[in-house]
Amino acid sequence: MMTDKRPNRDKSVAALPPSVLAQMLFRAINEHEAVLARVSRLLHDDVSQVLSAVGLQLDALRMDFREAAPGVEGRAGEIQELLEQAIGQLRDISNELNPSIVERAGLHFALDRLTGKVRRSFSGSLRLHFDPATRIPTVLANTFYKIAECALESAIARPGCTLIDIQVKQSRGDYVLQIADNGEWDDFDAGDASMAHLLLDYYASKNHVALKVDNTPGKGTTVRASFPAPVTANPEGAR
């Protein structure tokens, strides 16, 4: 009788060092984001443009035949409305899939969209405070967005979380992103908590962002990411 000598995949993966598991996770994340970017470009650059071209051709037909076929104008208008709805939905899907939404629309817009999405499923209060005078470089803005996305997902999963506060500002010479929540911190799911910390550390380390996570019993969790802002020259003070 032959025995199955193939290794148990689950046990072999679990036995790997945390650093190796982290590298596997991060490689999978990068591949996943690359696929999402390709699908997003396909929807935005190909499908949406084809639908827009169909709408233009339909408008031309409406103008050519509106005298010969009086009813065609109303029907064409209805079809054009459907096309516009479809294009709008594709644009929304493309924005959701595209990991470079920050590059195209800016961090403030991206965080507005993210918080709006979270509010649809979160029954508590979610506030976003974005200092309009703060201009965050694109590379850093991408990192801040990923950290905010991960921190928000962790916050809403914590028991008793009813308040999440997000701040983006410039403080003491640093660009700062801070996410605070009032959820309970315990061992409710240590596996997910460890995974969240791995992701936060990964996104922060990619661009040398300083990351600090404080857990205070009875008060909640605060995630703070910071990066030095460039020193602005002051000609008047120069000697």
Residue by residue, pLDDT tens for the chain (239 residues) are: 444 444 444 455 456 555 566 667 667 766 766 777 777 777 767 777 788 888 788 878 778 777 777 777 778 778 888 888 888 777 777 766 665 778 878 999 999 989 998 999 999 999 999 999 999 999 899 999 999 999 999 999 888 999 999 999 999 899 999 999 999 875 544 444 567 788 888 889 888 999 999 888 878 999 999 999 987 644 444 44
Q: pLDDT tens-digit profile of 76-92?
A: 778 888 888 888 777 77
- Let me know: does 107 contact 168? Beta carbons within 8 Å: yes
Look up residue 25 and give its two tokens.
């996770």
Q: Using alpha carbons, list the distances in angstroms from residue 28 to 22, 35, 158.
A: 10, 11, 25
Q: pLDDT tens-digit profile of 102-137?
A: 887 899 999 998 999 899 999 999 999 999 999 999
pTM of the model: 0.65
Alpha-carbon distance 156 to 171, whole Å? 27
